[in-house]
Amino acid sequence: MDKKEIKLFTEERKMLIQFENQNMEYYVIFSFEENGDVYYLLTDREKLIIAKSQDNKLVEITDEKEIEIISEIVDEFANEHLVLDENGNDFLARFYEYGEIN
């Protein structure tokens, strides 16, 4: 099965989030709904951030059990999609070791 290609660093995927009076630039890799909550996999180009929408704000997920469950969904997404950086490289590959996300 061919993976669906997604160009990550585009204006459509850019999200500005205010943090300590500064607009921080993030890119939405994908979002999904689970048990009535909307989750986002974001990147600032250096790391992956899992967040959920809560009271009209994005809150980073830090609970290990919740991260473990969401990581399975991220793995499924990565198996079906090729997320490309601006040079056409597999962006998510740098975060995977031995087939699992770091």
Interstrand relation of 14-19 and 22-34 (parallel, antiparallel or unpaired): antiparallel
CB-based burial label for 12 (10 Å; 0-12, 13-18, 19+):
exposed
Give the pLDDT of residue 101.
58
- pLDDT of 52-100, one tens digit each? 998 888 889 999 999 988 889 999 999 999 999 999 999 999 887 645 4
How far apart (Å, rounded) are the C-alpha atoms in residues 45 and 71?
19
Domain edges within the chain: 4-101
User: Coil, strand, or helix at residue 47?
Assistant: coil
Cα–Cα distance, 94 to 92 (Å, whole number): 5
Q: Which of 72, 67, 36 is nearest to 54 (CA)?
A: 36
Give the separation between CA 23 and CA 55, rounded to whole angstroms: 19
The predicted pLDDT at position 4 comes to: 97
Total-model pTM: 0.85
